[in-house]
Structure 1
Amino acid sequence: MTRMIFINLPVDDVARATAFYEAIGFTKNPAFSNQQASAMDWSDAIKVMLLDKAFYATFTDKPIADSHATSAMLLCLSFDGRDAVDAIHRAAIDAGGREARPIADMGFMYGGAFEDPDGHTFETMFMEANAETIVAAQNATA
């Protein structure tokens, strides 16, 4: 069986969150979606579950963080090129997200970060195929 990761995110409005994630390239899996949750596929192995906050609360005794005010994690999406990074940033802003960090060109790596309407931060990046060699060489001379 393929290993998968399911990222569960609390959201204020499942329909609004679903529309945002569809706008940035996720696919809704209707078999695992209802009014309380949307199962969103990024790939065969990476799934994001958008859970209504009341439903999310049934899985934990901890208070649900206000992702607009605090950060518990940063999620990073990788892309095959710079144009794809630019495209998802444009789509995120157009769909009601917020730029959390402008796109930066670091030579071997290119990316930035955006927030969804609920404040969850997604970093984006494209990394050159030889990035490990470049970083190792930089570290050796530092």
Structure 2
Amino acid sequence: MTTISSIYVNLPVKDLAVTRTFWTSLGFQFNEQFSNDKAVCLVLNEGSMYAMLLTHEFFAGFTTRSVADGSSTQVILAVEVESREKVDAIVQAALANGGTRYREAADHGWMYYDSFADPDGHQWGIMHSDLSKLPA
């Protein structure tokens, strides 16, 4: 069986300063060891999950395909947090700091999620689940 020790999701961004300010306002930190004038390393879970937010020009150097411009959906990034309240807090902070809503929150009893698009149009789903409430 193959296992993964960590993941680095790479996303193109238009403006690193705007990106850094946006994610900082949501309470996230950056790994400065992997950040410079071409990229910032957003820490999602220290030691295992990161988002590399790269300038469009730098990102383009890793692919032979065109780079998404935020007007279409190529991926939805879903992350789980510790509570419904944390879901709401992150989404409200995102909306107050330049993010936009692309769908309404949903409550399935055992899983609650809400969503936002960051300033570059990347779609994020923030969720909390309680598997003890999962229907049989």
TM-score, length basis structure 2: 0.91
Match of 2:53 in 1: 50
Residue 63 (1) aligns with residue 71 (2): no
Question: Does residue 96 of structure 1 match 2:98?
Answer: yes
For the pair shown, the structure with the greater C-alpha radius of gyration is: 1
How many residues were matched structurally? 132
Deviation, 1:25, is 2.6
The equivalent residue for 1:21 is 23
Structure 1's consecutive aligned runs of 4 or more residues displaced over 4 angstroms after TM superposition are none
- Percent identity reads 36
Distance in 2 (CA, whole Å) between partners of 1:83 and 1:113 is: 14
SS in 2 for 1:17: helix
* 8 Å contact kept, 2:109–2:133: no
User: Per residue, is there more helix in 1 or in 2?
Assistant: 1
Change (3 A) 1:131 1:73: farther
Paired with 1:43 and 1:58, the residues of 2 have a C-alpha distance of 26
| Whole-Å separation in 2 of the counterparts to 1:102 and 1:43 | 26
Return the offset for 1:100: 1.4
Deviation at 1:31, TM superposition (A): 1.1
- Map of 2:74 onto structure 1: 72
Aligned residue in 2 for 1:140: none
- CA-atom RMSD, angstroms? 1.3
> Residue 45 of structure 2: SS of its match in structure 1?
coil
Supply the distance in 2 between the matched residues of 1:127 and 1:7 (Cα, whole angstroms).
Answer: 23
User: Retained in 2: the 8 A contact 1:25–1:42?
Assistant: no
| TM-score for both structures, normalised by structure 1 | 0.88
8 Å CA contact retained: 1:18, 1:50 = no
The 3-state SS of whatever aligns with 1:93 is: helix
Pick the aligned partner of 1:114 from 89, 105, 116.
116
Residue segments in structure 1 that go unaligned for 5+ positions in a row: 138-142
The code of the aligned residue for 1:125 comes to: M
